[in-house]
């Protein structure tokens, strides 16, 4: 068979492969021609363990490592700062140092929470990070560790991830909609929901271009197309889910984020500008509404 210009030949090790993005990425890469995916759960590769990191990287000698592992519980990070820092800062530092030692490029996922959320119009890669709490700080410091240890890196900041598995806003709203007549949803937080499958698509597209040997290392933003609020996202979720089951919920109540999450401030704007990803890689944003229509049937096993 004649290889197309986009045929990729690479072994890709995925950390955190049981998470939303890690799982979606493993599924996608396993179907991608020319790619050998090596998905690693936390049990197989704890990114905070020096022994485990070197053992697995030296055993598999991948062409790329993609780190999808993370401590993502924002309130829990305030109560367990050491654990959050260990997974989100020290783990990436360790991975970056090991990757540099073995000449393996590292691709890492970060978050809109590195910003304070004051720019309603959104954040570009040049904007100054100013995290509001432990979680955001741990993600920012993890990024900095990677920049320091492994110049051959891609950091992809993403936001508001949803999928049919794991812990996410979509599944939380669905759970509440089955049990409560009224659901609270913040109408003062803006962002762009992003499906885990869509992030996996973007990571694969980036990987393909890395193999062309062009110098594209650095930090990029990606999120689904169309800005909404938590309230707007909740409305869309309920409308989509009602096609599949009868729900107890009768109405959504618009509330302030601060009333829902008193422990730690959330960014009012999580909007990420994605122009750099488009101009460098030619990757366009996909509308989150169409992704939602695709993900909901997965919840019902269709």
Ligand X SMILES: NC(=O)c1ccc[n+]([C@@H]2O[C@H](COP(=O)([O-])OP(=O)(O)OC[C@H]3O[C@@H](n4cnc5c(N)ncnc54)[C@H](OP(=O)(O)O)[C@@H]3O)[C@@H](O)[C@H]2O)c1
What residue is closest to ligand X based on CB?
19
Helices (H) and strands (E) in the chain, counts: 12, 12
Q: Give whichever of 162 and 231 is closer to ligand X, judged by the CB atom.
A: 162
Quick one: which of 156, 42, 131, 125 has its CA closest to 91? Answer: 42
Minimal distance, residue 137 CB to ligand X, in Å: 13
Question: Residue 4 Cβ, how far from ligand X at the closest point, in Å?
Answer: 30
* CB of 112 or CB of 198, closer to ligand X: 112
Query: 48 Cβ partners below 8 Å, 6+ apart?
Result: 86, 87, 90, 91, 94
Answer for the pair 222, 194: CB distance below 8 angstroms, yes or no. yes
Cβ nearer to ligand X, comparing 4 with 136: 136
Provide the minimum distance between the beta carbon of 129 and ligand X in the complex, in angstroms, as a whole number. 14
Asked whether the beta carbons of 109 and 199 are under 8 A apart, the reply is yes
CB of 79 to ligand X, least distance (A): 16
Q: Which residues bind ligand X (CB under 6 A)?
A: 15-16, 18-22, 42, 45-48, 68-72, 87, 91, 109, 111-112, 139, 158-161, 166, 196
Q: Which residues pair with 155 in a beta bridge?
A: 108, 219
Q: Smallest distance from the beta carbon of 209 to ligand X, in angstroms?
A: 21
Q: Judged by CB, which is closer to ligand X: 105, or 136?
A: 136
Whether residue 104 contacts residue 62, with contact meaning beta carbons closer than 8 Å, is answered with yes
Q: CB-based contacts of 95: which residues, under 8 Å, 6+ apart?
A: 15, 47, 53, 65, 67, 106, 108, 146
- For the chain, report the end-to-end CA distance as a whole number of angstroms: 34
Cβ-based nearer residue to ligand X, 52 or 247: 52
Cβ pair 62, 38 in contact under 8 A = yes
Cβ atoms of 117 and 270 within 8 Å: the answer is: yes
- For 96-250, strand residue ranges (E) read 106-111, 153-158, 161-162, 182-186, 190-191, 194-195, 218-221, 228-229
Distance in Å, CB of 222 to ligand X, minimum: 10
Distance between CA atoms of residues 182 and 141, nearest Å: 39
Least Å distance, CB 250 to ligand X, is 27
* Residue whose CB is less far from ligand X, 44 or 290: 44
C-beta of 247 vs 265, nearer to ligand X: 265
């Amino acid at each position: 068979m004649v290889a197309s210009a986009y045929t990729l030949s690479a072994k890709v090790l995925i950390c955190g492969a049981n998470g939303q993005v890690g799982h979606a990425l493993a599924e996608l890469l396993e179907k991608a021609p020319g790619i050998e995916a090596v998905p690693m759960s936390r049990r197989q590769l704890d990114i905070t363990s020096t022994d485990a990191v070197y053992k697995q990287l030296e055993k598999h000698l991948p062409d790329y490592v993609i780190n999808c592992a993370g401590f993502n519980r924002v309130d829990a990070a305030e109560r367990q700062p050491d654990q959050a820092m260990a997974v989100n800062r020290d783990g990436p530092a360790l991975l970056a140092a090991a990757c540099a030692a073995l000449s393996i490029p590292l691709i890492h996922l970060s978050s809109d929470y590195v910003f304070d959320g004051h720019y309603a119009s959104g954040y570009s890669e040049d904007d100054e990070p100013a995290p509001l709490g432990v979680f955001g700080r741990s993600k920012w410091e993890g990024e900095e560790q990677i920049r320091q240890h492994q110049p051959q890196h891609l950091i992809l900041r993403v936001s508001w991830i949803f999928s049919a598995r794991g812990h996410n806003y979509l599944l939380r709203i669905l759970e509440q909609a089955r049990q409560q007549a009224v659901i609270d949803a913040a109408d003062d937080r803006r962002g762009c929901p992003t499906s885990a499958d869509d992030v996996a698509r973007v990571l694969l597209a980036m990987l393909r271009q890395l193999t062309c040997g062009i110098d594209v290392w650095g930090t990029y933003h990606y999120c689904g197309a169309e800005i909404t609020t938590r309230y707007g996202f909740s409305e869309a979720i309920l409308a989509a889910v009602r096609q599949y089951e009868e729900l107890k919920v009768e109405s959504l109540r618009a509330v302030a984020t601060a009333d829902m999450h008193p422990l730690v401030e959330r960014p009012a704007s999580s909007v990420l500008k994605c122009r750099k990803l488009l101009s460098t890689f030619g990757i366009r944003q996909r509308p989150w509404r169409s992704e939602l229509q695709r993900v909901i049937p997965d919840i019902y096993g269709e």
